[in-house]
Amino acid sequence: MKLVTHFFLFCFICLISISIKSQNVTANIESDSILIGKQLLYSIDIDMEKAENIIFPDSTSFVPFELISETKVDTNVIENGLRFSKKYAIISFDEGDYVIPKIKIQIGDKLFSTDSKKITVNLVQVDTTKQGLYEIKPSYDKFSSFEIFKLTLSNNYPVIIFIIFLILLIIYFKSKILRFFNPLLNIKPSLRPIELVIRRLSDLEKVNIDSREGVKLFYSDLTFYLRSFFEKEVYDRALESTTCELIQGLNNVSEIKSFPISKKSVNRIEEIFKRADLVKFAKFLPEKNITQNDLKIINEEIDIFSELLPEPSEEEKLKNLNYKKQAEKKLKLERLKIVSISIAFLLVVLFIFSGLIYGFQYSFDKIAFNENLRLIEKSWIKSEYGSPGVSVETPDALVRIKDEKKFLYDEFDLDSQFYFSNLNKSIEFFISNYSSKSKIEPENFQAILEYNLDGLEALGLQNILVKYDEFETKNKGKALLISGTTDFKINDRKVKPGEYNVIGFLTETGFKTIIILTHEARYIGKIKDRIMNSIEVLKEEQK
């Protein structure tokens, strides 16, 4: 009987040994000493005779190291069965000696553990005497306006192309643009009668005198130009007089010496005027050389008259100057009116076109430089606040609050507090990091978080309605959410309805709070939702 008992005991021990050998779990690290901030490869190998369900460890199993990546399970055929392998990349940003504890792996309905691993994390040794020293880069607001302009256009190629096209267009129409915006270039000078008749006679040289109509037009213009000149400078009734009356008037002027015109000049002018009457009224057609000679004679007489005329008086010069000033003022007003109407029309067309595409409210806010719309459309900043902290995206970087901290606890230390708001404070955003010397129980955390409601009342919030809920971050972090509606006190007589959100994260060494205050304004809801959806915290085991 004793022999049989020993035999069965021996068989049982053999079966246990075979079962253990059939499932072998090993863990390996590539090095037991790494530099701070450098990743370490941790691999797990499981040898089995046949495939079974395996549950590998999650990211919390490597604390105090942080898991940054992991590979898929790799299956290989070995001599005695199958080998299942999985690799993890872990990292640490704190110096010291650490131990990765035994990691539990479930195979089927059995639980296995790996050996613990001791790892030393060393600081990077930096010898500042052997490297170049450089000036600290300036902050963004220290850049020049031109540098900021270049950064803005770095990816706006359509804008650059449009600007180049506009410059080429301006160069091509340069003369017209200068003439349009410089009224002096558009003012025709006030000519003296002698200067005007000389210019008009020069234009007569271009008249076609090969046809009867051309000859008639030539003599009509010639006599009108001469009569206009005589009207202003020699004989004041020249335009309303017949040819005989005009010649008699010129002779009278010559006799009284008010204008020393010679008898020869009067006779030459009389001959040309009589020929002009024959052309206009008797359908007389002179030879071409006669017509050309008549123009030549008149030009000679005008040259003689220009020497006989006295220099313009100071009164005439002043009159001409006043004319130029009035003409310039008139043209400036006309140009200003044209430009103003054109710009107004262009803005109205652009507004209507934009309103039909994007909506009239959006277009109006865009033109009016609505601050909340600008915050939505600008490039947001993602940063981490605290150590370890809260990662969040905001329109502008949060600033550290150093004085007059908003939310304080008597029994907890405030490690850091950060703040952001827009100009009219229709949205305010706080991040606070607290540390505790003693462990905080989860069931007591809600009461601690409710203390922030007293701080909200101190900020001017009234009629606070409270609702409790759970909050989950992008990286699956769990938090307690206290939210609700409230009234914001603007002044003694005015309040605005709004909302508040208090989010609390319980950690091993304390807790973190996020407070968002918003009251009614366009686009504020979108800003708040985007901020809340971007919140991330480091995954830590809550106690």
Render pLDDT for 453-477 as a digit per residue (tens, 0 to 9): 888 888 888 888 989 999 988 888 8
Mean pLDDT of the chain: 79
The band of 515, judged by pLDDT with boundaries at 50, 70 and 90, is very high
Structure tokens belonging to residue 436: 């505790």
| pLDDT value, residue 409 | 84
| pLDDT value, residue 142 | 53
On the 0-12 / 13-18 / 19+ scale of CB atoms within 10 A, 421 is middle
Q: What is the tens place of the pLDDT at every residue in 141-170?
A: 555 666 666 666 665 666 677 778 878 888
Could you give the angle at the alpha carbon of 437 between the alpha carbons of 434 and 443, nearest 5°? 75
Name the residue among 243, 290, 287, 292 with its Cα closest to residue 269: 243
Could you list the beta-strand ranges (E) of 477-542. Answer: 478-489, 495-506, 510-519, 536-537
High-pLDDT (> 90) share of the chain, %: 8
Mean pLDDT of 222-233: 85
| pLDDT value, residue 312 | 60
Residue 490 has pLDDT above 90, yes or no: no
Could you list the beta-strand ranges (E) of 285-412. Answer: 381-386, 389-394, 399-400
Residue 502 has pLDDT above 90, yes or no: yes
Q: What is the tens place of the pLDDT at every residue in 4-40?
A: 454 444 444 444 444 444 568 888 888 888 888 788 8
User: How far is CA 491 from its chain centroid?
Assistant: 35
Q: φ, ψ for residue 173 (rounded to 5)? A: -100, 30
Q: How far apart are CA 173 and CA 176, in angstroms?
A: 5
The band of 480, judged by pLDDT with boundaries at 50, 70 and 90, is very high
Which of 541 and 126 is assigned the larger pLDDT? 126
Q: How far is CA 55 from CA 27, 84, 110, 373, 522, in A?
A: 15, 11, 10, 49, 50
Residues in contact with 324: Cβ distance below 8 Å, sequence separation at least 6, in sequence order: 184, 187, 189, 190
Q: How far is CA 347 from CA 66, 153, 340, 343, 370, in A?
A: 56, 24, 11, 6, 18
- Count helices and strands in the chain by DSSP H and E runs: 15, 22
Structure tokens belonging to residue 288: 């071409």
Residue 1 has pLDDT above 50, yes or no: no
Q: How far apart are CA 356 and CA 349, in angstroms?
A: 11
Q: What is the tens place of the pLDDT at every residue in 272-313?
A: 888 888 888 888 888 888 888 888 888 888 888 777 776 665
The band of 503, judged by pLDDT with boundaries at 50, 70 and 90, is very high
Q: What is the tens place of the pLDDT at every residue in 402-432?
A: 766 778 887 888 888 999 998 888 899 999 9
Residue 487 has pLDDT above 50, yes or no: yes
Please state whether beta strands 33-35 and 117-122 pair in parallel, antiparallel, or not at all (unpaired).
parallel
Q: What is the tens place of the pLDDT at every residue in 238-269?
A: 888 888 888 888 888 777 666 677 888 888 88
| pLDDT value, residue 430 | 92
- In this structure, the number of other CB atoms found within 10 A of the CB of residue 336 comes to 10
Q: Are 501 and 483 in contact (CB under 8 A)?
A: yes
Mean pLDDT of 85-102: 83
pTM beyond 0.85: the answer is: no
High-pLDDT (> 70) share of the chain, %: 81
| pLDDT value, residue 235 | 78
Q: How far apart are CA 225 and CA 200, in angstroms?
A: 7
Q: What is the tens place of the pLDDT at every residue in 185-204?
A: 555 556 677 778 888 888 88
Residue 125 has pLDDT above 70, yes or no: no
| pLDDT value, residue 148 | 63
The tokens 């792996």 sit on which residue?
Answer: 105
Residue 501 has pLDDT above 90, yes or no: yes
